[in-house]
Structure 1
């Protein structure tokens, strides 16, 4: 594979039936129709275009930002089929990712976007930076994810960056009410409200005790918090995009 050509490949397992090159498929989460014109079989650095695949096979599909981790894809024209989605669980490590060379901002932004699309790490934003003009917040389960991000930015994009750690160890997504629910709760001591990559509110806590204390400080907000999230549907994303524009 040519490292200078940064295309996106989604790995998909065929669960039933027969896959044929060129067939039309629908992404269950968004309803988006996708043409499977260049399915590939990958082994190390080698690629091979395939004509068909069967249940149990894993194939690579060019991903024009159509797929998210856990998506179900089914043949267009067939009855809708959707497996349960794969959740994004609460990270335990948080840090601002700072660019050390302002002249490399374009490469930095491209690298962060690529690593995010691969699921290498979760990216959060401060509420006043939903467009991504400021330093992103990396959210990870383990230290290795941070190491991978820094090394790949350096080796693949020529970008040197550093991490500024944040004092939080837990995240909770606001399931209902959105930013209005967060604002209605008022000032929450020791809690920081940020946004995930889709613009949804996420609350960061310093420890488990702070998570539990929220039930006393904001009894209306605590019941609608979740320690995980799913990629939004097309309808949900449209609502989030409208909310971003109002900001």
Structure 2
């Protein structure tokens, strides 16, 4: 039915191989893994805010691309997943956390295969390492051997579905705040706070994500919430070279202004027409549909 896989098209991202099998019945799993090892690209240079980092460099560097809270609910652990980009990552070695400007050390770095995990001594470019996190990491954070830069190309995308989070149990406010912060740190949803207020707004790209968040808030944090739909079409990060113009825009559009978790201003548009109108009427305001994660 299909032609042979063109490896060059695959490596350029134009096509993708599809495997058929069953993990439960252990059918096709070995073939898929063997093929992955055979055709997967080798580690490639990555762009940073300073220079390109090559995998064959001697000094270690890597970035956090995923965070998962409560991987083991019994221990309330939080794992940050690090992709090694250059050099060699070693256990019990101090590395610089660039955003926090401090040294960090990991005594129990893990590698994962399905539900199994094991402590590793070292890792190399292309490897993914699981690091225990007590809240020090965000997606996009960079670790190095002392050089200060951030890996680029790790965007935060604009959500298109928005719901207000209503706390159904005021006695669980602290648990709700913690749950919202940790679950949105994972990157599948974004948390906004109404500008000048306390209204919590979650933005996602699909309805199912709201159900997952609501379930996990209750099961993992004991926080029962109600999620009310909001009439917003798109979230855009806003900036301007003229601070006064930006302040005026925020003042007049306060009902549509929110802040993300990092304090960046966001404009919530009710429709595409409203968004296009504001962009036309405010040429000094820049509307961004992604926010680069390296701050």
TM-score (norm 2): 0.68
Correspondences of 1:194-205 after superposition (within 5 Å)? 194-205=258-269
1:127 aligns with 2:186: no
1:106 aligns with 2:166: no
Q: For residues 103-132 of structure 1, give each alpha carbon's deviation from its aligned partner in whole angstroms, at most 9, with x where no partner exists.
A: 222222221122022223100001224xxx
1:58 aligns with 2:132: no
Q: Distance in 2 between matches of 1:34 and 1:199?
A: 25
Q: Distance in 2 between matches of 1:23 and 1:176?
A: 42
Q: For residues 55-112 of structure 1, give each alpha carbon's deviation from its aligned partner in whole angstroms, at most 9, with x where no partner exists.
A: 2221111223332213332223xx4454214111111011111111222222222211
Corresponding residue for residue 228 of structure 1: 290
Structure 1 residues 150 and 178: CA distance shift in structure 2, 3 A:
farther
SS in 1 for 2:85: coil
Corresponding residue for residue 155 of structure 1: 219
Q: Which has the larger radius of gyration?
A: 2
Return 20-29 or 87-96, whichever deviates more.
20-29
Alpha-carbon deviation of 1:232?
Answer: 5.7
Residues 141 and 294 of structure 2 are in contact (CA less than 8 Å); yes or no, is this contact kept in structure 1? no
Structure 1 residues not aligned, in runs of 5+: 234-247
Structure 1 residues 29 and 92: CA distance shift in structure 2, 3 A:
same
Q: For residues 26-82 of structure 1, give each alpha carbon's deviation from its aligned partner in whole angstroms, at most 9, with x where no partner exists.
A: 234453322223212234444422211222221111223332213332223xx4454
Correspondences of 1:1-247 after superposition (within 5 Å)? 2-76=72-146, 79-129=147-197, 134-176=198-240, 180-185=244-249, 187-188=252-253, 192-221=256-285, 224-231=286-293, 233=295
Residues 124 and 137 of structure 1 are in contact (CA less than 8 Å); yes or no, is this contact kept in structure 2? yes
Structure 2 residues not aligned, in runs of 5+: 1-70
Q: Distance in 2 between matches of 1:26 and 1:85?
A: 21
Alpha-carbon deviation of 1:188?
Answer: 4.0
Return 95-104 or 33-42, whichever deviates more.
33-42
Return 58-67 or 171-180, whichever deviates more.
171-180
Residues 97 and 161 of structure 1 are in contact (CA less than 8 Å); yes or no, is this contact kept in structure 2? yes
User: Which structure carries more relative contact order (alpha carbon 8 Å, separation 6+)?
Assistant: 1
Q: Distance in 2 between matches of 1:231 and 1:17?
A: 23
SS in 1 for 2:182: helix
Q: For residues 124-161 of structure 1, give each alpha carbon's deviation from its aligned partner in whole angstroms, at most 9, with x where no partner exists.
A: 001224xxxx3411011111211110111122222221
SS in 1 for 2:178: helix
Alpha-carbon deviation of 1:195?
Answer: 0.9
Q: Distance in 2 between matches of 1:8 and 1:37?
A: 15
TM-score (norm 1): 0.80
